[in-house]
Amino acid sequence: MKRRVAVTGVGLITPLGTGVEKNWEALIAGRSGIGPITRFDAGALATRIAGEVSDFDPVDYMPAKEAKRVDRFIQYAMGAAEMAMEMAALEVDDRLSPRIGVSVGAGLGGLPTLEHYHEVLLKSGPRRVSPFFIPGMIANLAPGNISIRYRAKGPNLSVVTACATGTHSIGEAFKIIQRHDADVMIAGGTESAITPLCVAGFSAMKAISTRNDEPEKASRPFDKDRDGFIVAEGSGILILEAWEHAMDRGATILAELVGYGSSADAYHVAAPAPGGEGAATAMRLAIEDSGLPLDMYDYVNAHGTSTYFNDLYETQALKTVFGDHAARLQISSSKSMTGHMLGGTGAVEAAYTVLAIQREIIPPTINLDEPDEGCDLDYVPHTARPAAIRTAITNSFGFGGTNACLALARFTDKP
């Protein structure tokens, strides 16, 4: 028997704000977090806009000395984990310590730290490279530091699957609990890679928007005038618990994680497979894993990147999987407001999906002024919509053709 898995806490740090309520207020209001890049002089770049986190102070979540030793993506993960643990009201004692694990990934890891110390090496030589350089920037030090903070001695891993990282991290944590390898998992994704090299690299691929004069309108999933995604940063963390563990301690259950699917396109290093073949497989597997019928699904938090092929093929994949029911789905892309947080985005969107289920409101897709040909489903344009969501999926697709999907359901104490 597969164990049921509850979501009992979420933590959010995004361009919409630091904290769950700040995020939710902005999300439901349809407020964009995209603006001009302030971290560095972007004047020479084709894209000069991004989704920066503007209200985060690491010393709110860790000692200043510790904060200076780690890259910003680790700081974000630590902050979001603290929020999630507080919401879950979870205390780690000697009994729980060996049974709680961490699964938190990053797509690019500590790119800002890497760029900084490369410059230090070239200008000042190897003696000026800090001993904290490596432990401060490698991807698995996000879950590593969270584990140390909470004495989480169970499974500890850092998934790296580009834009699907956060979703895979949560999905793998879900399976760890289901197979009894842990009772609780701190799971999610994190990223902070708004650097000259990152933006220049995505710009060279012609993957990101150049709508520099209208940053708030630049991310426009499914719209005919979309011209690429927006690089952003942030972190989302979920607390997953075995159902009986959550019930025994009287935890507030926000939603139930009921399914997980993953697949590969085996097609191209960056472009999705035509027709969304791999995406459809991941969705189908998550739905089959849930054991719930297609007509129980009401909402899709779409990957919806604001790139031409991704939005078109995701739409086609939804039609392939859901058939006639696809026309009745309510679909939205929160990337229209947050931008694309790379390794953090899937976890943030999973958290948004949990909140949409719990609070019975579907976030909108902003900037959807004229849907593109072939993008003809209900994308909840412009305005949030009250809805009693029974079951939802959230999608993430990454470079290399990696796909992940989570299925989440409304809380019920029925078996």
**Amino acid residing at 285:** L
Buried residues in 320-352 as b, exposed as e (16+ CB within 10 A): bbbeebbeebbbbbbbbbbbbbbbbbbbbbbbb
Q: Which residue among the candidates 245, 303, 375, 405 is catalytic per the annotation? A: 303
Give the CA angle between residues 216, 81, 67 to the nearest 5°: 85
CB atoms < 10 A from the CB of 118, how many? 13
Secondary structure of residue 179 in the 3-state scheme: coil
Paired strand residues for 398: 402
Answer for the pair 355, 24: CB distance below 8 angstroms, yes or no: yes
d(CA 150, CA 359): 29
116 is a catalytic site residue: no
* Closest to 157 measured CA to CA, from 186, 179, 177: 186
DSSP state of 390: S
Q: Is 340 an active-site residue? A: yes
Catalytic residue among 198, 340, 375, 405: 340
Is 325 one of the annotated active-site residues of the chain? no
- Residues known to be catalytic: 163, 303, 340
